[in-house]
Structures are given as C-alpha cells and as structure tokens.
Amino acid sequence: NAGVTQTPKFRILKIGQSMTLQCTQDMNHNYMYWYRQDPGMGLKLIYYSVGAGITDKGEVPNGYNVSRSTTEDFPLRLELAAPSQTSVYFCASSTRTYGYTFGSGTRLTVV
C-alpha cells in the first residue's frame, strides 16, 4: 500500500495565482482531512470529508475549497493565493477507529 500520497511536494506560487494540491489514498478510508502547518506550530484543520460527496469546513477554511468525488481522492484548491497561505499542507485519512495516516506534505510558498 502507498498510504496517503500528496503531490506536488514543493510549489512556489505568485500572489493571485491558483493551484490544486492533490491527495489520494489507497486504504479505502472514508475520512479524509486537509491540515496546514505553519513554522513551529501545530496542525490546523482546513477541511475534512466523512465520505464521497460530503465535505465540511474545519478551523481555517477561508481561501480554500475541496471536493470529494471519490473515496480515494480529496483535492484542495487554492484560489487567489496570498502570502498568508505560505505553509506546509498535509493530507490525512482515517477509519475513525484508529489514528490518522498522513501524507508527506506539500510545501507551498506564495511570493
């Protein structure tokens, strides 16, 4: 099993540009999450999904959008990138009876 796969690993965006961070899992987990981690800080929940077709806002959803058309994929969309969105983004999945499995992260810089 590959677990949770995130692409790209690194990206530099200019202010106002848009991009999609990809996340896919092969564990058939219903629950998927997007977190951001700022330097020296813990993880903050952006959006989560309890199953295909269902998404909900987390703690810091502004400036982001998600979709969940399949169990495997949970892409995160950034529209009109801002410097405040410079961060490391982690996708995770779980079965809700066990701890989360995290991807290796996407390091995003907005300049």
Binding site for another protein (CB under 8 A): 4, 31, 33, 35, 40-45, 48, 50, 56, 58-59, 90, 92, 96, 98-105
The least CB distance from residue 103 to another protein, in Å, is 6
The least CB distance from residue 91 to another protein, in Å, is 9
Residues 6 or more apart whose Cβ sits within 8 Å of residue 94:
29, 31, 33, 100, 101
Whichever of 9 and 18 has its CB closer to another protein, that residue is 9
The least CB distance from residue 90 to another protein, in Å, is 5
What does DSSP assign to residue 70? S
Whichever of 14 and 96 has its CB closer to another protein, that residue is 96
Whichever of 17 and 88 has its CB closer to another protein, that residue is 88
The least CB distance from residue 34 to another protein, in Å, is 12
Strand extents, DSSP E, the chain: 4-7, 10-13, 19-25, 31-37, 43-51, 54-57, 64-66, 76-78, 87-94, 101-102, 106-110
Are the C-beta atoms of 66 and 95 separated by less than 8 Å? no
